[in-house]
């Protein structure tokens, strides 16, 4: 299967999935792969602390939380670790990441989460080669 679209999914699409999309877009060297993020109950805005830690990585992210219904059907979905409420899309290959949610925690917790996501994104991109 030729992968053309990967979606990072989380219920609120305001933190972990946004960070994963931003990192994947920055680190990806294959233009033919599109990275998206979405959720089943999207927030009104991206978590400000997520934006702050992305800026520390020189990523000036201007994404917005989106509903799954707003994105084109992906070939692969990556769930962030929302447990039984993690969004799914029928027909797409599913990869499950168990990323702790930093919401409501310190900026240092957001940095740890971003570093964990970065490791996972590097692994994913390596697997796509």
Catalytically active residues, by annotation: 10, 82, 86
Q: With contact defined as beta carbons under 8 Å apart, do 38 and 71 qualify? A: yes
DSSP string covering 44-110: SS--HHHHHHHHHTT--------BGGGSPPPSEEEE-S-GGG----TTSEEEE--PPP-TTS-HHHH
């Amino acid at each position: 299967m030729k992968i053309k679209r990967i979606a990072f999914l989380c219920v609120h699409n305001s933190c972990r999935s946004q960070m994963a999309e931003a990192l994947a877009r920055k680190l990806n060297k294959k233009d033919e792969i599109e990275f998206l993020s979405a959720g089943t109950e999207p927030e009104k805005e991206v978590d400000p602390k997520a934006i702050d830690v992305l800026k520390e990585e020189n990523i000036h992210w201007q994404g917005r939380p989106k509903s799954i219904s707003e994105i084109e059907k992906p070939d692969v979905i990556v769930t962030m670790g929302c447990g039984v409420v993690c969004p799914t899309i029928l027909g797409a290959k599913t990869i499950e990441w168990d990323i702790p949610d930093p919401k409501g925690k310190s900026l240092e917790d957001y940095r740890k989460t971003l570093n964990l996501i970065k490791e996972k994104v590097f692994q994913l991109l390596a697997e796509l080669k």
